[in-house]
Amino acid sequence: MIDRGDTAWLLIATALVLFMTPGLAFFYAGMVRSKNVLGMLMQNFFAMGLLAVLWVVIGFSLAFGNFGDGGWIGNLDYFGMANVGQTATTLGAGGWMADGKGMTLTIPFLLFAAFQMTFAIITPALITGATADRFKFKAYVVFIGAWLILVYAPVAHWVFGGGWLAKLGALDFAGGAVVHINAGAASLAIVLVLGKRLGWPKEQMHPHSLPWTLIGAGILWFGWAGFNAGSALAADGIAVQALYNTFVAASAGMLGWLLVERMKDGKPTTLGAASGAVAGLVAITPNAGYVGGMAPVFIGLAAGIVCFLAIQLKFRFGYDDSLDVVGVHLVGGLLGSLLLGVFASKVYNPAGADGLIEGDLTLLKNQAIASISVLVFSFVVSLIIAKVIDLLMHARVDETDEEIGLDLSQHAEAAYSD
Amino acid sequence: MIDRGDTAWLLIATALVLFMTPGLAFFYAGMVRSKNVLGMLMQNFFAMGLLAVLWVVIGFSLAFGNFGDGGWIGNLDYFGMANVGQTATTLGAGGWMADGKGMTLTIPFLLFAAFQMTFAIITPALITGATADRFKFKAYVVFIGAWLILVYAPVAHWVFGGGWLAKLGALDFAGGAVVHINAGAASLAIVLVLGKRLGWPKEQMHPHSLPWTLIGAGILWFGWAGFNAGSALAADGIAVQALYNTFVAASAGMLGWLLVERMKDGKPTTLGAASGAVAGLVAITPNAGYVGGMAPVFIGLAAGIVCFLAIQLKFRFGYDDSLDVVGVHLVGGLLGSLLLGVFASKVYNPAGADGLIEGDLTLLKNQAIASISVLVFSFVVSLIIAKVIDLLMHARVDETDEEIGLDLSQHAEAAYSD
Amino acid sequence: MIDRGDTAWLLIATALVLFMTPGLAFFYAGMVRSKNVLGMLMQNFFAMGLLAVLWVVIGFSLAFGNFGDGGWIGNLDYFGMANVGQTATTLGAGGWMADGKGMTLTIPFLLFAAFQMTFAIITPALITGATADRFKFKAYVVFIGAWLILVYAPVAHWVFGGGWLAKLGALDFAGGAVVHINAGAASLAIVLVLGKRLGWPKEQMHPHSLPWTLIGAGILWFGWAGFNAGSALAADGIAVQALYNTFVAASAGMLGWLLVERMKDGKPTTLGAASGAVAGLVAITPNAGYVGGMAPVFIGLAAGIVCFLAIQLKFRFGYDDSLDVVGVHLVGGLLGSLLLGVFASKVYNPAGADGLIEGDLTLLKNQAIASISVLVFSFVVSLIIAKVIDLLMHARVDETDEEIGLDLSQHAEAAYSD
Amino acid sequence: MKLITAIIKPHKLDDVKDALKVAGVQGMTVTEVKGFGQQRGHTEIYRGAEYQVDLLPKTRLDMVVRPEDVGQVTGVLVEAARTGKIGDGKIWVTEVDQLIRIRTGELDADAT
Amino acid sequence: MKLITAIIKPHKLDDVKDALKVAGVQGMTVTEVKGFGQQRGHTEIYRGAEYQVDLLPKTRLDMVVRPEDVGQVTGVLVEAARTGKIGDGKIWVTEVDQLIRIRTGELDADAT
Amino acid sequence: MKLITAIIKPHKLDDVKDALKVAGVQGMTVTEVKGFGQQRGHTEIYRGAEYQVDLLPKTRLDMVVRPEDVGQVTGVLVEAARTGKIGDGKIWVTEVDQLIRIRTGELDADAT
Ligand SMILES: Nc1ncnc2c1ncn2[C@@H]1O[C@H](COP(=O)(O)OP(=O)(O)O)[C@@H](O)[C@H]1O
Ligand SMILES: Nc1ncnc2c1ncn2[C@@H]1O[C@H](COP(=O)(O)OP(=O)(O)O)[C@@H](O)[C@H]1O
Ligand SMILES: Nc1ncnc2c1ncn2[C@@H]1O[C@H](COP(=O)(O)OP(=O)(O)O)[C@@H](O)[C@H]1O
């Protein structure tokens, strides 16, 4: 039965998550040099173009077909949105799912597909931060298209689609593994293939406009309400819990990051404030509907501190993760997924599980398995895709184009003029 | 009876559509030269000021008074928001309307008026893109005020208010004719009166800041969810269908535009990506709640391709439609309204109609009549209004003011400083 | 009983109000010189970090504990979100409250706390406009933390928490006194302690980027829908009334401001349009759910005119309220709170009161008492806090740092680069 | 060699550039500047405060030319940049000891 | 004629401009520049990476004056632009062969 | 004293600055400029309209040095700024009558 309150919430939640991709575009675009602004914006906006269409044609079906099969990938039942209509539906009723009743939607099935579409757009788009300033546009297009089908759709099936990780008992409220570990691991793979930006790390590459980054962070923060609280698929207490957790963790993430930044570098920075908030948001994502009380404060603080430290790794190991997708999304996603094994409590969500804090170690173990599985799968397949593309068409722009910048070389445009 | 889920959705949908006008302001402002940025922003923001007040005083009454009379214009029943209260209501029960029961709202009537107010703001604001860089502010103020009363209100009555076009059987889910053909035809009229920008088309007039254009496009895309899915006036399956169609058509519009741009100019541009998405959004607007499946993909693709070609017309015919309102909104609106005659299907909306694809030609014919009627009416009346204003106070700034730019000459401000 | 429509609306309303603080950040940041952009953004974003955490730990409890006691401050019942859960609840049932039944929520109590959290973030953040360009970051951090606990929490209790002003019969729908008078009076206090910016008023300090100010205004306008209509705590007729009033008053505020600006300075400015809209929004805030019809037009117009005149006061009296928080929020808040005593009518809200226009003077008297009380309390306590901080750590940056700008001196960052 | 510096109105840049190309000028360097002179500025208004702005946007051109070309180049410049209204700008000529092309190390006339 | 070029601190521009007006300077051209010299730069921090920035914002003034005015103008300039702290800037004077007013074609002293 | 003006490619600024420091140059002034010369520009596309852009971003350096240092400084400049590709830029040298340090009033060689 369709509930109009739930439908109202999911309608706007879907729009909110869609709005996150422009937010992400600006969060990143502010950090690049002025010759690469449009290159960054374009990659993100193009993800909104290509991936939505791929999703409704085949992606959704591969991710959510055969719902609750406990398996590896969906089927083609929903190819071209076949069988995806305006009525509510029950998914996976006959499967392994605990109560034998599957997931009963109180919103139109089509809305579920649209909501998931916005996740399928932003997840690959996260990668653009790692590859900034050197990914050839044509190669990028092929990469994210292939990645959606070969990496995102299966992983979404494992976790959100009632696949093997869901069956195992791993939890992921809104995508700690599916979104953040997944995109973060892929980022690491592809920057290894692309190589470092010319001049990195010697040359100074200041953010060309931190206000863009800040407005992007504001939009992300706003949209994350839809991302996490929308993942309750209803306007109920769990959604409220998720909203509360999300906002509080973002705040605590900012505080954590600024604290260590202040200690290490002597000044709290605006970029640090934005980065810390995002780190908190990343880490709370898997936890959003499963924890409560002061847990989001601890999770956020931890994320701010750990991710700040993690972004230094690239200098140690020499991979050029331009805007720290690995440091923030991979590490923050891992941290959040594991902390869920600590802080989860059925007090806040009876359909969830109890974590370490409630005396149970099982969840933490499952979280570790899920995290590692997604990390390894995404890293390996992404590496293969990137390598193949590199062989076929050179994944990276040539040196002159990189010097001129992506805006002119890839898109024949200048970001700013008189 | 008021449904709180429906009310929740329409509350936020109203806010979303309101937010579109700032979005539009930036979409346009990024494309003008830096001396005309504030002129553009001001015209759009001022529309939010003036038109809202005019609407609640008299515009709403003229558009929706005498609902369902099958006629040409409303009455003064709702003058100054009289009789527009917090309760739900049934409109046009006694009229020609099919089931004899009119339109029964499940939201407060006042919310319906507020939702429609946001449409009455953005539609005239669309015109500012065509007249960029040369419309005298005072003349602009008079123009949009008069246009709201003399053009928008009647046309809205014809279609949304149960007027003659609605009675005829023409469909327009969220304003393909009322909003886009209407504003596009008016744009053509007024640029003929204003004349070309100094230096056009010889002088290069680069967009001064494409990031503004992109963030504007992001806001428009986001807000369009409220525009189209809000037009269902409920949080039901039709709203969901509209949301899905909207987002998918925007994406396909981007792909269509970039494809032909790539072929013709050799590079896919960021401005093209944004423009294509808007073209897709325009074309899906009349269709939003009446089509489904893969139709939004086709409609979006067609819009992206056709509008890209259409914006070249101004060079051929020599009218200076500065930011392509004719090419995108008039042409995109026409295309969408006609394609509705092709793709409409009662499968997706029993209250709709069947189009060509279901074997019925009637709708296409009605769509053509409605489109042409709105086009001609809007063009002629707009031309008269513009001519009269031009006689009374010169519609265009003088040459020195145009050279200095609208920011300084009309508003004594500079957009950027240290 | 939880209503999912109400919950859906409050979920998004909470997100909307949260989004207002980034909006405010940009509204202000556009007006400062380019060397202080990040200083401004940082102060606002940091408010989102610090105050959310303080709120969930103790602020909410101090404001809403002992709900309906008719007293001065809450208790520690909700310390660390204890007893704040996912169920709906009735607050203050046993207190003085009219029907003896207190306030019965139809949304999870936790959602109420989260919604209020967003108010507790933006209210202190409003002050940053007054102190622009010279507040030492460390001192600012201590100030807003202390202010939340010592000023905001008690005042919120007096009015929103069923404290003595609520018991007295003063009305404040969404925070004319709690938010605007409160922050405005504090602004006056602290600028007296900080002193004038170097060079003020002789030196020209142009807004460095009015587009930022305009996009900030757009976001504020959008978010204010959540602020005011969300304060109905339901998706009902009152919420709709509040939304309508809010949007119309913003529009009328713009018209009022531009009218007098045009008369006095000869040109209507973009900054004036944005400022007038905000003035209208401020003044409608206490009125939002209690008035109707054409009242928002009058209230908005009055606010636009009066606030335009009020911002000239700082030159007369020589206090450097950099971005006119006193002129817009203190004066606009006072005006709105008093006009509520005029325009309130039970026709629009049976739970409200009748104002002068309905022939009753009591409300106006109560509004005056409430406004003055909040003004005096906030001014005095803020002055003390600021003085103490100034003694302990100098509230103001030193001269060199002020010359270099806050961006470099406080945060070691530059807003713009190549 | 001689260095010719011209301050012109920004919207004249395209015309001037074209005219100079025709006149055989091979290269030049363009700077956005602000000028102060007899031309009246404008008033800006921000929240009721009026500011007199007397620095106006101008464009500066620098080009090193052979001494024998100075007369012709300044002539072309004057002609192309003139609108006849106050604020058209100035041209001044200074002596250059030496001109070097970085790429080749060529000197003076060879380096233009 | 002589060309006086001055590099000053940006916030001194208003004072300098006023003083020059009083001293009879009729026009000048102003450019935003960055300077490198003895004045220490500052440190910027982006995500834990520290950058030493040694180019500081400065303002460049160019004015062509009559030879006999050079002493007075540079004197006024020095006085108005001086703060006494490192980084106050430099003034240099070069010989101008010819000054032309574009609008009228007037030359040298008539063209200032 | 002599004024050395160099137009270089923007991304060479760091190298050039470092090389000049080593060569003993104490100070200089840097301006963002656009250059027009033999180097080909690029095409920009906006909604189907193609624009040929022939002004390219360059960086201008001005430094006043002692006459005896001119040779060495230009030598270092040429070496550090050269990429060997068209568009590397120019250097020109002009005579300076006088150099003043605003802070101290020191003159010429003492003022560098
Ligand atoms: N003495 C001067 N030295 C350098 N630049 C000057 C001088 N006088 C004027 N300029 C420049 O020339 C521009 C135009 O000068 P102005 O006096 O306004 O008009 P006109 O050149 O028509 O007499 C000024 O804006 C300034 O940039
Ligand atoms: N030799 C030089 N040639 C050109 N400009 C110089 C030179 N030395 C310094 N400058 C300019 O003057 C500014 C101030 O110089 P600096 O050495 O920092 O302080 P001071 O002028 O007080 O000695 C520099 O930032 C630079 O713009
Ligand atoms: N005659 C000139 N006077 C002043 N600047 C010049 C001149 N010729 C070239 N330039 C500057 O030098 C830059 C490089 O010149 P260009 O002819 O493109 O290449 P190259 O220096 O390698 O011959 C130009 O962009 C311009 O800024």
User: How do residues B166-213 score in pLDDT, each as one tens digit?
Assistant: 999 999 999 999 999 999 999 999 999 999 999 999 888 999 999 999
- Contact residues, C window 206-235, toward B, CB-based 8 Å cutoff: 206-211, 214-215, 217-219, 221-222, 225-226, 229, 234-235
Provide the 3-class DSSP secondary structure of residue D53. Answer: strand
Q: What count of CB pairs under 8 Å joins C to D?
A: 27
- Percentage of chain E beyond pLDDT 90 is 77
pLDDT truncated to tens, each residue of chain C (418 aa)? 999 999 999 999 999 999 999 999 999 999 999 999 999 999 999 999 999 999 999 999 999 999 999 999 999 999 999 999 999 999 988 778 766 678 999 999 999 999 999 999 999 999 999 999 999 999 999 999 999 999 999 999 999 999 999 999 999 999 999 999 999 999 999 999 999 999 999 888 999 999 999 999 999 999 999 999 999 999 999 999 999 999 999 999 999 999 999 999 999 999 999 999 999 999 999 999 999 999 999 999 999 999 999 999 999 999 999 999 999 999 999 999 999 999 999 999 999 999 999 999 999 999 999 999 999 999 999 999 999 999 999 999 999 999 999 999 999 999 999 8
Q: Which residues of E touch C (CB under 8 A)?
A: 11, 14, 42-46, 53
F103 lines ligand 2 (CB under 6 A): yes
Burial class (CB in 10 A: 0-12, 13-18, 19+), B126: buried
Quick one: pLDDT at residue C263? 97
F46, F48, F51 ranked by CB distance to B264: nearest: F48
Closest-CA distance of chain F to residue A412, Å: 5
Low-confidence stretches of chain D (pLDDT < 70) are: none
- Contact residues, E window 76-105, toward D, CB-based 8 Å cutoff: 94-103, 105
- Which residues on chain C are in Cβ contact (under 8 Å) with B219? 218
Instruction: Using the mean position of ligand 1's atoms as its centre, give its distance from the Cα of residue B111 in Å.
Output: 60
Quick one: pLDDT at residue C94? 79
- Taking the domains of chain A in order of start, what are their residue ranges? 4-411
Task: With CB atoms and an 8 Å threshold, state whether A206 touches E44.
Answer: yes
E78 lines ligand 2 (CB under 6 A): no
Quick one: pLDDT at residue A95? 75
Quick one: pLDDT at residue C98? 63
Return the bridge partners of D29, or none.
D62, F35
Closest-CA distance of chain F to residue A413, Å: 5
Task: With CB atoms and an 8 Å threshold, state whether F93 touches D97.
Answer: yes
Instruction: Using the mean position of ligand 2's atoms as its centre, give its distance from the Cα of residue C198 in Å.
Output: 26
pLDDT band with cut points at 50, 70 and 90 for residue B418: confident
CATH number of A4-411: 1.10.3430.10
Quick one: pLDDT at residue D106? 83
- With CA atoms as reference, the chain F residue closest to E79 would be F102
Task: With CB atoms and an 8 Å threshold, state whether B11 touches C240.
Answer: yes
CA angle F64, F70, F76 (to 5 degrees): 100
Instruction: Using the mean position of ligand 2's atoms as its centre, give its distance from the Cα of residue F36 in Å.
Output: 28
Q: Which of A31, B26, A269 is nearest to C418 (CA)?
A: A31
Instruction: Using the mean position of ligand 3's atoms as its centre, give its distance from the Cα of residue B199 in Å.
Output: 29
Measured distance CA(C49)–CA(C53) in Å, rounded: 7
**Which chains neighbour C (Cβ–Cβ under 8 Å, 3 or more pairs)?**
A, B, D, E
- pLDDT at residue E111 greater than cutoff 80: no
Task: With CB atoms and an 8 Å threshold, state whether B251 touches A37.
Answer: no
Query: Residue A104: which H helix or E strand, with range?
Result: strand A103-104
**Number of the ligand 3 atom closest to the C-alpha atom of D62:** 4
- Which residues on chain C are in Cβ contact (under 8 Å) with D50? 265
Quick one: pLDDT at residue C100? 65
Tokens of B156: 């809205």
- Which residues on chain A are in Cβ contact (under 8 Å) with E45? 261, 265-267, 269
Which residue ranges have their beta carbon within 6 Å of ligand 3?
Answer: D 26-29, 62-64, 101, 103, 112; F 7, 35-39, 56, 58, 86-90
Distance of CA C327 to the CA centre of its chain: 13
E6, E36, E94 ranked by CB distance to F3: nearest: E94
Residue of A19, A260, A270, A308 best to disrupt the C interface, most CBs of C under 10 A: A270
Distance of CA A242 to the CA centre of its chain: 16
pLDDT band with cut points at 50, 70 and 90 for residue B110: very high
pLDDT digits (tens, 9 = 90+) for A12-57: 999 999 999 999 999 999 999 999 999 999 999 999 999 999 999 9
pLDDT band with cut points at 50, 70 and 90 for residue A99: low
Instruction: Using the mean position of ligand 2's atoms as its centre, give its distance from the Cα of residue C407 in Å.
Output: 24
CA angle C256, C260, C265 (to 5 degrees): 140
Q: Which of B329, B328, B333, B324 is nearest to B368 (CA)?
A: B333
Residue of D97, D102, D106, D108 best to disrupt the F interface, most CBs of F under 10 A: D102
pLDDT digits (tens, 9 = 90+) for A106-130: 999 999 999 999 999 999 999 999 9
pLDDT digits (tens, 9 = 90+) for C385-406: 999 999 999 999 999 999 999 9
**Which chains neighbour F (Cβ–Cβ under 8 Å, 3 or more pairs)?**
A, B, D, E
Q: Which of A305, A183, A173 is nearest to A238 (CA)?
A: A173
Task: With CB atoms and an 8 Å threshold, state whether B403 touches D11.
Answer: yes
Mutate to test the pocket of ligand 2, among F17, F25, F29 (most ligand atoms within 8 A of CB): F29
Instruction: Using the mean position of ligand 2's atoms as its centre, give its distance from the Cα of residue F28 in Å.
Output: 6
- Sign for the pseudo-dihedral over CA of A57, A62, A63, A67: positive
Measured distance CA(D100)–CA(C356) in Å, rounded: 84
Whether the full predicted model's pTM is greater than 0.90, yes or no, is yes
Closest-CA distance of chain E to residue F45, Å: 30
- Sign for the pseudo-dihedral over CA of C5, C7, C8, C13: positive
Task: With CB atoms and an 8 Å threshold, state whether C408 touches E46.
Answer: no
Tokens of C4: 């999912």
Task: With CB atoms and an 8 Å threshold, state whether C11 touches A235.
Answer: yes
Measured distance CA(B50)–CA(B57) in Å, rounded: 11
- pLDDT at residue F106 greater than cutoff 90: no
Quick one: pLDDT at residue F108? 73
Mutate to test the pocket of ligand 1, among E28, E32, E65, E108 (most ligand atoms within 8 A of CB): E28
- Long-range (24+ apart) CB contacts under 8 A made by B55-59 are B55/B116, B55/B117, B55/B120, B55/B121, B55/B148, B56/B80, B56/B81, B56/B113, B56/B117, B56/C244, B56/C248, B56/C294, B56/C297, B57/C294, B57/C297, B58/B149, B59/B117, B59/B120, B59/B148, B59/B149, B59/B152, B59/B153
Give, using CA atoms, the residue closest to atom 24 of ligand 1: D35
Mutate to test the pocket of ligand 2, among E7, E34, E59 (most ligand atoms within 8 A of CB): E7
- pLDDT at residue B109 greater than cutoff 90: yes
Mean pLDDT of A58-74: 96
Mutate to test the pocket of ligand 3, among D1, D3, D20, D29 (most ligand atoms within 8 A of CB): D29
- pLDDT at residue A59 greater than cutoff 70: yes
Return the ligand number nearest the Cα of E6. Answer: 2
Which residue ranges have their beta carbon within 6 Å of ligand 1?
Answer: D 7, 35-39, 56, 58, 86-90; E 26-29, 62-64, 101, 103, 112
CA angle C69, C70, C75 (to 5 degrees): 45
- pLDDT at residue E109 greater than cutoff 80: no
Query: D35 — phi, psi (to 5°)?
Result: -120, 150
- Which residues on chain E are in Cβ contact (under 8 Å) with A267? 45
**Number of the ligand 3 atom closest to the C-alpha atom of D103:** 22
Cα→Cα distances A239→A292, C12, C197, D81, Å: 12, 11, 46, 66
